[in-house]
Structure 1
Amino acid sequence: MRSVHESNVTVEPGSDPRAGGVWTLAAGGPIINEPEGPATLLVPTEQALLLAVDLPLSSRAKRLEALPFAIEDRIAEPVESVHLAIGAEISPKRYLVAVVRHETMLRWIAEAEFVGLGHAAMVPDALTLPVAELESAWMADSQRGRVLVRSHDGAGFACDALIFATAWQAAGQPPVMAWNQHGPAEVPIAGVQIDSKPLSERVRNPPIDLRQGIYARRRAGLSNAWRRAAWIVGIGATAHAAILLADTVALRIIADRREADTRALVQQTAPGMALQGDLATSVAALLPVGGGGGGVPQTFMPLVSRISAALAPVGAINARALEFQAETLVMDIDGQPGLAARIRGALEGARIKATVTESPDGAIRISAGAA
């Protein structure tokens, strides 16, 4: 079997292999590795972050919803700028996850479509290695100055051979198993794991396929004309979906922060109150209700929401007390240099009728009417 980096058979633009086989995305475009097996395009793992992520949720839909929040502190990119793909369950409630920038995915798919491989699964090439039989070890395959690694948790990475030893030392020098005697020479080898199974068999059920979500694979039977039309429509849909995803994530983060601020304010004014279930219902329960079950909660909650939204750009505010008197919300907060002016400008910009005063002890009082 030829190495994925030794094959010199390329695909001419516009050709349509469709029969399947395992291909590798190289600098000059996809190259054939094995003509047998399911249509699979191996992509460089250097451009795909592979993680093992705990997602203890009952359904795939819930896991997809929670995924951005589970990995946002483990990636350097804004979560809305990347494509997230969920793969196999590698241990109970722990899943393989791939993170790829949207522009990288679009470029890879365009290259695949250009040569008729739009129907192929897309798999980071480090995942063609098995997990090492030796506990806590790395499985490593070194070829032509490049090292592929499959870590003991089922994830993996790829790097230049010149920096592999540094990465290995930073990881605590785990045992390294050489794959089919192709281990990196830069570190001690704990053993060799031989597998004669062809690559086409190893990718038949890949641990992850990047072609999911907005980048899901198309059917193989489309004509060239329909394929081109679908690709043009797909680019537009992808752009709109990416924008929608970014907006949704941003709105969710803002909503979570506002809820946390409101909970903090309520705890300061009613320390013994346990907030459970719906926040609006819990806050409304704190307030006196006028005759006939009327208007305090209906006035209070919209006013709090408007003020919270208006003050969000101002930054962190430490509230001392929050009261609602005669349809006027009174909020006392700790003062900071220039804070009163910023608050006054934010409320005026949001068209909220309010007075902002500073007391001798440095506190700031906001009095906002419901009208």
Structure 2
Amino acid sequence: MSYRLYVRPIAPFPAPGAEPVEQLYNWALLDASGDSQAHGGGDTRDAIEQTLAQNDLEGVRLIGLIPGEDALFCVADIPAKQSRFIQQALPFAVEEQIAQDIESVHLAIGSHSAAGYRVAAIDHQQMGQWLRLFSDWESARLEAIYPDAALLPVTDGGWSICLDGDNVMLASDQGEWLSVQSRNLAMFAQTLAAPPSEDVVAEVPVTLFGTDAEFEHLQSDISVLKASPRLAVAEKTLELIPLELLAHAHHHHLCHPINLCQGTYSLKRESSGLFGVWKPLIAVASLWFVIQVAVEVGFGYYHTQQAEQARAQAMEIYRNAFPGDTRTHAGNVRRVVQGQLNQLQESGTDAGFIALMKYTGSEYSNLSGAGSVVFNSVNYSQSRGELVVDVRADSYDKLSALRTGLSGKGLEAQIGSVVNEPDGARGRLTVSGG
């Protein structure tokens, strides 16, 4: 029987380069029908592996879940259909939605929607750490790594929200996911309930998962959700840990997450036990491969010559248009031209509501004395790609520090309509994609 082991590490996480010996995990073991056979919370890797060994389980498929805030959701509008061309165009399609060097980011592509391809972006260093954490387990083979919030069961036409201790996981039916601190749930709900001016006001269904204790603890924030005339909130009580909800939704295909194990981090499975049976066929295939490679090398040489001629012609055209540019070469001319075209566009870069909220919330959390800074209201303009926050602080220095932090992430941040008051200052923070 086939088993799946869902593993979700618990903070604190190991430092970069450190051995994760003492790392603790929440975990759930599901059989082929999706029934839970075992589960645990706050266990070490050795304890989980011992449970598998005691039950004589081999070849268990391991699903690793990482914090949703470590991976950013993007959308890539790529007209191509062939995988090779999609992969080539992917960095250019999402570069403006990511506030760091695209070369330092790992991109994983998901299913296609009406808006384009769903994409998950994660820092290369972080992805390498998570891959090492979930690799080489006894009796279990790593199958996939997902952002945890992306495994929430989809609510058609709306959002799914799961209370998870000090954090809240959110996911939309469009494939977006987000993890925020529970204290920011009410602020996010107010923004979710405020539709763009060009939309017809309609009721948004929201499914809220949590234990009885969490519902009681966040009663005031939940009341804000229910008080909105635009949100139809349905509560669903969890008897166990949120991980089992995520495992159930993934096993029964109630969600559409993006597997981060792609490209450089793809998982190579071996089947050495069957090697002897397939050895003759492998020999024939190897001979065919050698012949095919020789043919492809010939075609490759021909196309290389054609490509060199095309690059030379492109550079000649570029030099005629920009004779003073000596830094551009054939390897980066496409990106340079694309950047120049972007600068000519009338509208600024639209990093998207989810991305702008994530970076604004992150800088707010990192702000020294964040308790003295209050967000009175949050508005988002899809047409302008701007997040506007009415913010109040005990000093203008706090407002300036928040703006400086966002600018340091590569975003465009401005503070306007500043009013100095006896007990502090208030103003309007405008954030866009830069």
Normalised by the size of structure 2, how large is the TM-score? 0.44
Judged with a 3 Å threshold, the aligned counterparts in structure 2 of structure 1 residues 61 and 188 are, in CA distance, closer, same or farther, namely same
Please list, as runs of the form range in 1=range in 2, the aligned pairs for 1:122-137 lying within 5 A after superposition. 122-133=145-156, 135=157, 137=158
Structure 1 position 102 matched with structure 2 position 124: yes
CA contact (8 A) 1:87 1:209 kept: yes
Please list, as runs of the form range in 1=range in 2, the aligned pairs for 1:65-214 lying within 5 A after superposition. 65-89=88-112, 91-92=113-114, 94-113=116-135, 115-116=137-138, 119-133=142-156, 135=157, 137-171=158-192, 173=194, 175=204, 177-180=206-209, 185=219, 186=221, 187-189=224-226, 190-192=232-234, 199-204=246-251, 206-214=256-264
Give the CA deviation at 1:222. Answer: 8.1
Please list, as runs of the form range in 1=range in 2, the aligned pairs for 1:269-288 lying within 5 A after superposition. none
Give the CA deviation at 1:211. Answer: 0.3
- Matched residue type, 2:233: G
Structure 1 position 310 matched with structure 2 position 326: yes
Give the CA deviation at 1:54. Answer: 2.5
CA contact (8 A) 1:34 1:199 kept: no
Larger Rg: 1
Determine the structure 2 residue equivalent to 1:252: none
Q: Specify which structure has the higher proportion of strand.
A: 2
Judged with a 3 Å threshold, the aligned counterparts in structure 2 of structure 1 residues 93 and 60 are, in CA distance, closer, same or farther, namely farther
CA contact (8 A) 2:155 2:207 kept: no
Give the CA deviation at 1:62. Answer: 1.9
User: What are the Cα deviations for residues 181-238 of structure 1, in whole angstroms up to 9, with x where unaligned?
Assistant: 5676413142327599965452245531100000001326689xxxxxxxxxxxxxxx
Q: Give secondary structure in 2 for the equivalent of 1:218.
A: coil
User: Residues of 2 paired with 1:181 and 1:31: CA distance?
Assistant: 16
CA contact (8 A) 1:29 1:111 kept: no
Quote the RMSD (CA, aligned, Å).
3.9
Identity %: 25
CA contact (8 A) 1:25 1:43 kept: yes
Q: Which runs of 5+ in 2 are unaligned?
A: 12-22, 33-60, 196-203, 227-231, 239-243, 274-309, 330-335, 338-434
User: Residues of 2 paired with 1:24 and 1:302: CA distance?
Assistant: 51
Q: How many residues end up aligned between the 2 structures? A: 225
Judged with a 3 Å threshold, the aligned counterparts in structure 2 of structure 1 residues 306 and 159 are, in CA distance, closer, same or farther, namely closer
Please list, as runs of the form range in 1=range in 2, the aligned pairs for 1:259-270 lying within 5 A after superposition. none
Judged with a 3 Å threshold, the aligned counterparts in structure 2 of structure 1 residues 305 and 162 are, in CA distance, closer, same or farther, namely same
Judged with a 3 Å threshold, the aligned counterparts in structure 2 of structure 1 residues 138 and 308 are, in CA distance, closer, same or farther, namely same
User: Residues of 2 paired with 1:140 and 1:104: CA distance?
Assistant: 25
Structure 1 position 215 matched with structure 2 position 265: yes
CA contact (8 A) 1:55 1:94 kept: yes
CA contact (8 A) 1:21 1:39 kept: yes
Q: Give secondary structure in 2 for the equivalent of 1:310.
A: coil
Q: Give secondary structure in 2 for the equivalent of 1:56.
A: coil
User: Residues of 1 paired with 2:6 and 2:319: CA distance?
Assistant: 60
User: Residues of 2 paired with 1:126 and 1:302: CA distance?
Assistant: 46
User: Residues of 2 paired with 1:200 and 1:162: CA distance?
Assistant: 26
Give the CA deviation at 1:111. Answer: 0.7
User: What are the Cα deviations for residues 11-33 of structure 1, in whole angstroms up to 9, with x where unaligned?
Assistant: xxxxxxx9532111223244322
Q: Give secondary structure in 2 for the equivalent of 1:119.
A: strand
Q: Which runs of 5+ in 1 are unaligned?
A: 1-17, 224-277, 284-299, 317-371
User: What are the Cα deviations for residues 303-322 of structure 1, in whole angstroms up to 9, with x where unaligned?
Assistant: 75995552659x99xxxxxx
Give the CA deviation at 1:71. Answer: 1.2
